[in-house]
Amino acid sequence: MKLSSITSIFQNKSIKNKIIATLALVLVYKVLSVIPVYWVDTTQLAAIMEANKGLSFFSALMWGWLSNFSSILMWLSPYINALIIIQLLWVIVPSIWELQKEGEAGQRKITKYTRWLTLPLAFVQSYWMIVLLNTLASGTIIDLSNTQTVLTAMTIITSWTIFLMWLWEVMTEKGIWNGISIIITAWVLSAVPWVIMGHISSQNYPLFIGLILATLLIIYIIIKFTEWNRRIPIIYTRTGREEKSYFPIRVNQAWMIPIIFAVSLVTFPAIIGQILTWSGSSETASTIGTFLLEYFNMSNPSWIFILIYFLLVLWFSFFYVSITFNTENVSESIQKRWGYIPGIRPGSETADYLSKVSEHLNLFWGWFLGLIAVLPYIMSKIMWQSIDFIISAAWLIIIVSVILDVVRKTDAEMKMFDYSKFK
């Protein structure tokens, strides 16, 4: 992007306001991340974190906000869980599946159901989070015997989680791009300086340079894969003469969703394992907990963990696309506009053809996404040491996708802005 183009962006009042709104909302999110829940002994928590490496690992799973028991400790986990449940219900409940066919109006209803489901999930999850942390810490972070204190803490955590959901929606509406994507990007990029300083302090410069080059190579590959699409030729005859157009199907249809869903599931056994190990309830429970920690520990993953993680990413890629890309609706839309795919009959044959093309592209992307997700763990296994990437390859997909989409959206608005000046 040229300097003149960047300057012209801030001449566009609409884009400038969206950028300012996005930065302001990200700042609000960062402030919330350092506000602790009341009645939490943060001094005791810090001492426990320092003495317990396992709890530090669990903190990493919780986006690092366990260290100060942040008010947004659960982040958007309840909302993501609600999304997973609603999308699973699409397959089971016909009425929800029908809502998807209603277009924007149906999507608004689905969003409303997701919001309402998030509330009870957040409240229940907040209680189990408190119980879990007390168990892992082998102490009292929040006194469970005091019902008023527990309910107050649960209400605070739930309220801030709902507020964060609202913040994300406002960011999506008023900001430059999808709110949850911007929040994830901000969280990942905020950790980059600390990772770089860690590598510099270790003075292992060959490894550091190698990781930088590997990161740049992965970024290049991700850009190529993300931008690739299959253009399906379509002939329209509504005007009395044939007009050729194209229907693009992106290879990256699922975007980052499979990784988010897969991480939510693959980390669950390790959490259960730590509870069973540290609870000391029975020898059998301790044995099961040790087994789960041995094979599902993200800091030292086994080949079983890597394989399951890869298969989950692959499966969620197919599952998500199967419920979001409705080929029957696309086929019907093409037919209503007097269009057809050369060599393919309109109607069910067109839908079947689009399904096959989508499945082939999704298989390609699912394998690529799965390999990218497990790449750091495979390298750690090969090199017999933990490799701390500058940015994880899985997170790079999210960041690159967000940046590319922001650039595309900004470019589209700039073209409209330039057109209006000469109109």
Q: Is the pLDDT of residue 99 over 60?
A: yes
Q: Is the pLDDT of residue 42 over 80?
A: no
DSSP secondary structure, 331-395, as one string: HHHHHHTTEE-TTS-TTHHHHHHHHHHHHHHHHHHHHHHHHHHHHHHHHHHHHTS----SS-HHH
Average pLDDT over the chain, rounded to an integer: 76
**Range(s) within the chain of domains with CATH label 1.10.3370.10:** 13-176, 194-423
> According to CATH, what is the number of the domain 194-423?
1.10.3370.10
For 143-198, the pLDDT digits (tens) are 777 788 888 888 888 888 888 888 878 887 877 777 777 777 777 777 777 777 77
The pLDDT of residue 69 is: 67
Rounded to whole angstroms, the Cα distance separating 142 from 275 reads: 17
For 194-215, the pLDDT digits (tens) are 777 777 777 777 777 877 887 8
For 48-78, the pLDDT digits (tens) are 666 554 455 455 545 555 566 677 777 777 8
Residue whose token pair is 């595309």: 408
Q: Is the pLDDT of residue 3 over 50?
A: no
74: closest CA among 147, 151, 163, 136?
A: 163
Residue 352 in contact with residue 247, Cβ under 8 Å?
no
The pLDDT of residue 100 is: 67
Residue 422 — pLDDT band, cuts 50, 70, 90? very low
> According to CATH, what is the number of the domain 13-176?
1.10.3370.10
Q: Is the pLDDT of residue 19 over 60?
A: yes
Residue whose token pair is 């096959």: 356
CA of residue 288 relative to chain centroid, distance: 30
The pLDDT of residue 154 is: 84
**What b/e sequence results for 361-379 when a residue is b if at least 16 CB atoms lie within 10 Å of its CB, and e otherwise?**
bbeebbebbbebbbbbbeb
CA of residue 40 relative to chain centroid, distance: 29
Q: Is the pLDDT of residue 33 over 80?
A: no
The pTM score is: 0.70
The pLDDT of residue 299 is: 65
Q: Is the pLDDT of residue 111 over 60?
A: yes
Lowest mean pLDDT among 125-139, 296-310, 348-362: 125-139
Taking the CA atoms of residue 133, residue 135, residue 140 and residue 144 in that order, the dihedral angle to the nearest 10 degrees is: 90
The pLDDT of residue 128 is: 77
Token pair belonging to 106 = 């149906």
Residue 33 in contact with residue 65, Cβ under 8 Å?
yes
Long-range contacts of 238-244 (CB under 8 A, 24+ apart): 238/337, 238/338, 238/339
Rounded to whole angstroms, the Cα distance separating 408 from 423 reads: 22
The pLDDT of residue 239 is: 64
The pLDDT of residue 388 is: 60
Give the 3-state secondary structure of residue 39. Answer: coil
Rounded to whole angstroms, the Cα distance separating 67 from 270 reads: 19
Rounded to whole angstroms, the Cα distance separating 212 from 224 reads: 19
The pLDDT of residue 391 is: 67
Q: What percent of the chain has pLDDT over 90?
A: 0
How many alpha carbons fall within 13 Å on the CB side of residue 421?
A: 9
The better pLDDT of the pair 310, 135 is held by: 310
